[in-house]
Amino acid sequence: MPEFETLINPPQEVFEEIITLSGESDNWSVQLGDYEYRTKVYDQYWLFVTVEKESNDVVSSITLARWDAEDGPLYSIGLYYCAPRYRGHGHARPLFKRVMDIIGDNNAFLAGNYKMTEKYAMDYGFDKTPNHWHMCSTIKCADVRIPDTVSENYETKKWSDVNCIRLTEYDRSICDRERRKIMTSWMVMRNTFGRVVFDKYSGKIVGYGVFRIVTRNKLSPAPFYADNLEAAEVLLKDILNMIPQWQSYASFSLMYAECNQDALRLLEHFAKDKDSISTCRLYRSQFTKKFIATPSEKVYAPVECAHQFV
């Protein structure tokens, strides 16, 4: 019988092996620098990995982040994964129990895959949820056609050219937890392109977006916020135009609450035809103690599914 052991915050190469496996089996994509980033921006961060002792093969994984604020810590769970050859044998469940023991009576969040939502609610208490699902709409970069004209009422600037206090104030209108450190560190990572969109006449910030180059040769909007569809179109056009050879990447996806149909309309405006876009139900935001509401109509994509709820 094979023997197993659990590693806590193992070296970078173990994280990269998980990313390779999960990319091949589940099409997950990240930046390889995300592991180091999370250890620096969160108040505490754990990566648990079960490996087979003899072969040192990755069996399962889970991550846990603690994010402190005035109203107490918020824990978040991500990268809950089991390699295909080990599935069906209960190898991942002990890791989930381990992070739940750390969370204790504190509030916690996860993005529950639609197949697992009920299990997370019934077995682990993640039963505070919105009424809607999050959808995922994907388009191949080869099928993107940047429109010749977009609204002239809005303009964008590189995020680094925008007053940090003003940008933080806008971010607080999206997320009621202070995350200046989290977002600033996110936007200075390699292969990351961010812009802020303004009302040209009032000078008011009406959104901001970040595109990242991630594994599997994909682009990832993370996050993408806009107060209205016109502003979103200007923002998307300007971000794409700042990415060198953006057409050479495989695809990108928007992940949005199903009540925000402007997200799908945005992609349709940039697609060669509507059939170029594929849409599926993806996840539901789930909390244990207190549901944290967000302005879903402004959110076209969250920062990430693992450790940010918006």
pLDDT in tens, 35-62: 999 999 999 999 999 999 999 999 999 9
In this predicted structure, what is the pLDDT of residue 275? 97
Q: What distance in Å separates the CA atoms of residue 245 and residue 305, rounded to the nearest whole number?
A: 26
In this predicted structure, what is the pLDDT of residue 1? 73
Q: Which CATH number fits domain 4-104: 3.50.50.60, 3.40.50.620, 3.40.190.10, 3.40.630.30?
A: 3.40.630.30
- CATH 3.40.630.90 residue spans of the chain: 134-301
Residues 6+ away with beta carbon under 8 Å from 121: 112, 127, 129, 286
One-character DSSP codes across 213-260: EETTTEEEEEEEEESSHHHHHHHHHHHHHHSTTGGGS-EEEEEEETT-
Look-up of token digits 């039963």: 127
Alpha carbon separation from 255 to 7, 12, 105, 136, 212 (Å, rounded): 32, 28, 29, 5, 14
For residue 233, report the phi and psi dihedrals to the nearest 5 degrees: -65, -45
- CATH 3.40.630.30 residue spans of the chain: 4-104
Cα–Cα nearest to 300, from 269, 254, 242, 243: 254
pTM: 0.97
In this predicted structure, what is the pLDDT of residue 2? 85
In this predicted structure, what is the pLDDT of residue 72? 95
Strands 192-199, 58-67: pairing is: unpaired
Block means of pLDDT (10 residues each) for the chain, 310 residues, are 94 98 98 98 99 96 98 97 96 97 99 95 98 98 97 98 98 97 97 99 99 99 99 99 98 98 98 97 98 98 96
**Secondary structure string (H, E, C) spanning 9-68:** CCCHHHHHHHHHHHHHHHCCCCCCCHHHHHHHHCCEEEEEEEEECCCCCEEEEEEEEEEC
Look-up of token digits 């390889």: 32
Give, in words, the CATH class of 134-301.
alpha beta
**How many CB atoms within 10 Å of residue 300?**
27
Look-up of token digits 């936007």: 187
